Amino acid sequence: MYNLATIMTQSASPTARGSRAPHVHILGVAGTFMGGIAAIAKSLGFRVTGSDANVYPPMSTQLQALGIELIQGYGAEQLDLGADMIIVGNAMSRGKPVVEAMLDRGLAYTSGPQWLGEQVLRGRHVIAVAGTHGKTTTSSMIAWILESAGRAPGFLIGGVPANFEVTARLGSSPYFVIEADEYDTAFFDKRAKFVHYRPRTAVLNNLEYDHADIYPNLAAIRWQFHQLLRMVPATGRLIVNGEDAELAATLEQGCWTPVESFYARAPGAGAASASASRTGAPAAAARWHAARDAGGIELFRDCLALGTLRWDLLGEHNVMNALAAVAAAAQAGVAPAQAIEALGKFRGVKRRMEVRGCIGGVTVYDDFAHHPTAIRTTLEGLRARVGAARILAVLEPRSNTMKLGVHKDQLADALAAADAAWFYAPPNLGWDLPAQVAKLGARAHFGADVPGLAADVAQAARNGDHVLIMSNGGFGGLHDVLLQLLRKRS
């Protein structure tokens, strides 16, 4: 970690004052997306500094390894660094001293998505992956397929793909893979981030209500997705989950790009014609689906068998992610058989069913699931893997949507595949968590602090159990606390 005085000294040096590199300063740099922007800016030769309220691993270590100078907090004095451009993360809001000073001084500023679109994506073949679920994994799969095929893609992903160990890179080819988030861009730009990316290939994984802190209803999110469709050229391609009714409704609002659909299993005979007739788009090019047998997962394009996928990833949702990835990679000229072979070596994404440890016969997983659909599919995938073994689920209702209680009625059903469930229930949650999951009966347990929660789970866990910890944040280090307790008793 650098302090402001050190950075100011470096800025004032003769070398820095000479033919210096352009300087960008990033507000909210420790977020996964903005940290990726920082890494890419550094690769382009910019001098990069940044600040955040909480700078911690993995982003802090990734940024420091790149030589990016970090400042703790949002004091106005950091603007004295004299950056040529301030890149403002969407966690910034009016009232923060640095934001108010930036506006008062009339400094040049932009958003992360707009900077990326103008400085990096223009002129490249952008493959954007959008949807409520699966964006990170599908983007990582596509990047790995292109890498394996020698395409050397750039990418910016909201997680850490194990095959790369970084969240972003500039790349050295025309191809750039990006996780296309529908969250708003910045305090001064309330459009979805993805409207800045202008993809040539767009993957639409699914569409459900989320981000209740900024969108009043599902129709508002659907409208944003429709804006994305307006930007994909007629010579490009849409890769769309053919089983998702909300995406079908989005296409009905207007579509000007050929649509390829993917399905968990072979679609009905009328699926392709229905898709073409409802969108009015150019004729759909292909339908992708999968079939399972003892030897693996066979992938198909229409009736043509493409190859057998053999991997260790769990769940039907990952089969859908794989279909979307193979279809998208084909738009970059990668043969499906080659893509399937690459996916056999795909190592997943950190915090997506990541095994954090196995002690005394108890396996502890870390997963990002925080929406009821993601919780359910993650648990079902683990259940398919472990059979009758006990699954102990541990959930932190941390997302803004979860804190607002939007999905509270769906929580109990989402956890149906777990043998027991522990909930982090802080006193300021704002809604009655025990009442909402009462149908789980004796399977439901609650804790108001991380040490107590970890102690309860450690006491209950026994040899052969699988503990699935789910949160879209760090969960107060629960994983490590639990593993330490398991070590002490083993």
Q: Sign of torsion, CA 191 196 202 203? A: negative
Q: How confident is the model at residue 474 (pLDDT cuts 50, 70, 90)?
A: confident
What mean pLDDT value characterizes the chain?
A: 88
d(CA 48, CA 109): 14
Provide the 10 A C-beta neighbour count for residue 449: 12
What topology does CATH give the domain 123-343? UDP-N-acetylmuramoyl-L-alanine:D-glutamate ligase (3.40.1190)
d(CA 433, CA 449): 15
What does DSSP assign to residue 429? S
Domains of the chain by residue range: 4-112, 123-343, 354-489
Query: How many Å separate Cα 458 from the centre of its chain?
Result: 30
d(CA 380, CA 313): 12
Q: What is the pLDDT of residues 347-378, one digit of tens each?
A: 888 888 888 999 989 999 998 877 888 888 88
* Per-residue pLDDT at 260: 96
In words, the CATH class of domain 4-112 is: alpha beta
Q: What is the pLDDT of residues 260-319, one digit of tens each?
A: 999 988 886 545 433 444 455 566 678 999 998 777 899 999 999 999 999 888 788 889
Q: What is the pLDDT of residues 422-470, one digit of tens each?
A: 988 877 777 888 888 888 899 989 888 888 899 999 999 999 999 999 8
Q: How confident is the model at residue 214 (pLDDT cuts 50, 70, 90)?
A: confident
* Per-residue pLDDT at 10: 43
What is the average per-residue pLDDT within 84-95? 96
The larger pLDDT score, comparing residue 137 to residue 430, is at 137
* Per-residue pLDDT at 77: 96
Superfamily holding 354-489: Mur ligase, C-terminal domain (3.90.190.20)
Tokens read off for 470: 């789910």
- Relative to beta strand 23-27, strand 47-52 is parallel
Cis, peptide link before residue 426, omega less than 30° from 0 = no
- Helix, strand and coil percent figures for the chain, each rounded to 5: 40, 20, 40
Do the domains 354-489 and 4-112 match in fold? no
What is the average per-residue pLDDT within 369-389? 87
Residue 20 predicted with pLDDT over 90: no
Q: Sign of torsion, CA 355 359 360 362? A: negative
At 377, which amino acid appears?
T
Task: Point out the least confidently predicted range of 183-192, 272-281, 315-324.
Answer: 272-281
> Cβ-count burial of 387 within 10 angstroms (0-12 exposed, 13-18 middle, 19+ buried)?
exposed
Share of the chain above pLDDT 90, in %: 60
pTM of the model: 0.84
Residue 3 predicted with pLDDT over 50: no
